[in-house]
Each structure stands twice: as structure tokens, then as C-alpha cells.
Structure 1
């Protein structure tokens, strides 16, 4: 019987936790939170996540314990099971450094790239260029780290899951990684992991990481605007 309730939706931050649960083989009760409806602002949910965002979990172990913020949830689950996070001080620090890289850098910057490239009602070339370029710079940092390392911080860890969850939808932000071979190798390697595949289909499969002809046309049009 599953002791963990997972409140989530199909986003990179949501995948971070669902994929971690799948990798750890922890059973969970899925509680979809459709963020398009605004239900995440309902008091019944903000009692679990005061920030009114996804994901969140409630661990009904010896007592009910709610955790919000995707990175904090990942650390909690890793420590709970003794997996995906080293216990030695330096090894643990390496993983958390790359987790914080995603939390404080890649997630916010790519999130803004997604907004201005995909959703903002008007095209603001300077904003699109700013966030796409910064996302691309952060991808280069990952590429450099992966040039001499199979994974980001020693063995496969929550740091890889966190950064994979965002990098896998680089197309959605209109950011090209064709000249980042080490990042591509790592991304392709992680995409073959069965647990990550399952995690990325929670609560439903998406096509965010699949480029379409319309995406290619959109990227070309945006680039033409930005280059003027």
C-alpha cells in the first residue's frame, strides 16, 4: 500500500519528483493538480504547498509529513531510501551543487524562455533572446561537465534527474543543442531509462520534447526577429 501522495502535473518540475519516485521504486498515490484550472491556489492544496505550485508530496508514514519545492522533495526521498544521493560530505555536496544549479539557474531561465517563446501574448524579441541565450549558456555548462563525466556528479543521482527534466524539452524553449555533443549523449542515455520514461508520463504523456514542423518554423521566425 502506497504511503506517499504525489500532487503534480505534466511539467519539468513535476517530472523531477515522479521520475525520482519511479527510480526509487517507491509506490505512490497520484493526485493530479491541473494547473490550468487554478486548483493549485485552493486552500485545501495550499495547506500542503503554501506556495500554490506543483509538485508536492505527503508522506503518510509514522505521521503525515508534507513537503513542497521539487528539489527539497528529491532530497527527502533520496535520504529516506539511501539512494541517488551520496552520504559522504563531499559526494553529497557535489550532487546538491548540481541540483541547485538547476533550481536556481536552469529552471528559472528556461522557464522564462518557455513563457516568452511560447505563451506570452506579444513577441518581445529582447526578452526571447535574453532567456534563450542564458538557457543556452547553462546548457554549455552542463556540456562541459559531461565532457569528462558520464553523469553530473559521480554516479547517477537526483542531480541528473533534475537537470534532465528541463533539458529534455529544450525544443519547447526554442533552444538548439546540436552543437553540444556531451549534453546530447547524456540526454539520450537518460531518455532510455525505463523509470525516467515512466516518470515523464505522469500524470499523462506529453509531446513537449518532440519537435514539430511548426516548432521549426516558429524557431526560424523568432530567430529572424531577434537577428534584426
Structure 2
């Protein structure tokens, strides 16, 4: 975490990285010092439309976690209820539920019902086509669907449908490939509407041009729909 010396905020930003052995701190400092340099260079963003790269934003994945709930789909209460088995997204978009990947510290071979599915990587959306919702054993039996191994069981409740770990497949395009893009590091307070639209306040974002971090953008509001994102 860091705070600018002239800022009235409690904090102004932070860095995160995952290491599976002891990190080289000199490399870490060198890697993220560019963020501190760019933070001091505030750039007004005048583009009405610009590619946006998110840093693991939970707001977006929470929309899929809710609306790919099998029971909501069956009850016609999900945004995706009328879109199942259709190519709704770009063919570059695939979304998977992963329940077992020890290399990345994901280890849920059994779900809350004790069910172990055959595939550790379950396609929910593949090449833009919505394939399936998520079902625990009880809902799968009620709606004549296959269980997906995606339930959690609190100590004081019956099982609830919830993903293990949602993972969006890489497209092979990085910030270095985009001529101009916004990298969003911190967002808070945004939410999706039931029609798939979203308004997302950005507290900290950086402007990239030709793969180089140019500076920090002023706080702004992102508006889009889940389909176009």
C-alpha cells in the first residue's frame, strides 16, 4: 500500500503480486516503481470509448456467479435465462469454473455436497456460447440437470450454489498489444443492474500507450454492458 505525501486520503494505491517462493525484492521494487512515477503524472482522459483492462475486479465475476446460478436460470430470474445455449458473447470470451489446481492454491475436489465432478475445469461459457448454469445436487435433481460440483455448505444452512473459482480464459492480447488502453487497479461502489448494464467508479487507473504506462487518470465512471465488455 502507498499514500502520497500531499494526499488527504488514508491510502492512494497499492501493489499485489503472487509468489510461490521468496521474491526478489529488488525486482519487485523495480517492477512497481513505474506505478509511483506514473501516479504523479495526472492525465485527463477525454476518450469516450477506450479498451479497459481490469486487475481481478470482483464486481464483474460476481455478476456471473449470480446469473449463472442454475436455479435462477430455471426460474427465469437470471439475465441469462433466455440466452442459454446461444452465442451471446464474443468468440474470444470463455469462462470456466476451476475446482482443483494445486499450483495456484485451488483445492476443492469435493463441493459442499461431497460431490466430485469428473473435470476439474468446467466450461460455463466457451467461445462466446453460454453452455450451462451451476447446479448443486438438490437443484440438479429438481430440474433434471447434471450437477456441476459448485455448491458450498455453511455450517448452519443447507447447500447453496456458488462457484469454486471463476476464470476467464486469456485472449492472447496484452497491454503491450493495445495502442491505447486504461488499466484499472482500484474500483469501489459499482454494481450491475438486472439488464446487464454497469456503472463502475474508478478510484485508481493508469493510461497505457503502446505498452508504456503514461500516467494516472483522474477519477472517473465507467459505463458499459456485460455483453459489450
Scaled by the length of structure 1, the TM-score of the pair is: 0.23
Higher relative contact order (CA 8 A, sep 6+): 1
Say which structure is richer in strand: 2
Say which structure is richer in helix: 1
Scaled by the length of structure 2, the TM-score of the pair is: 0.23
Tell me which structure has the larger Cα radius of gyration: 2
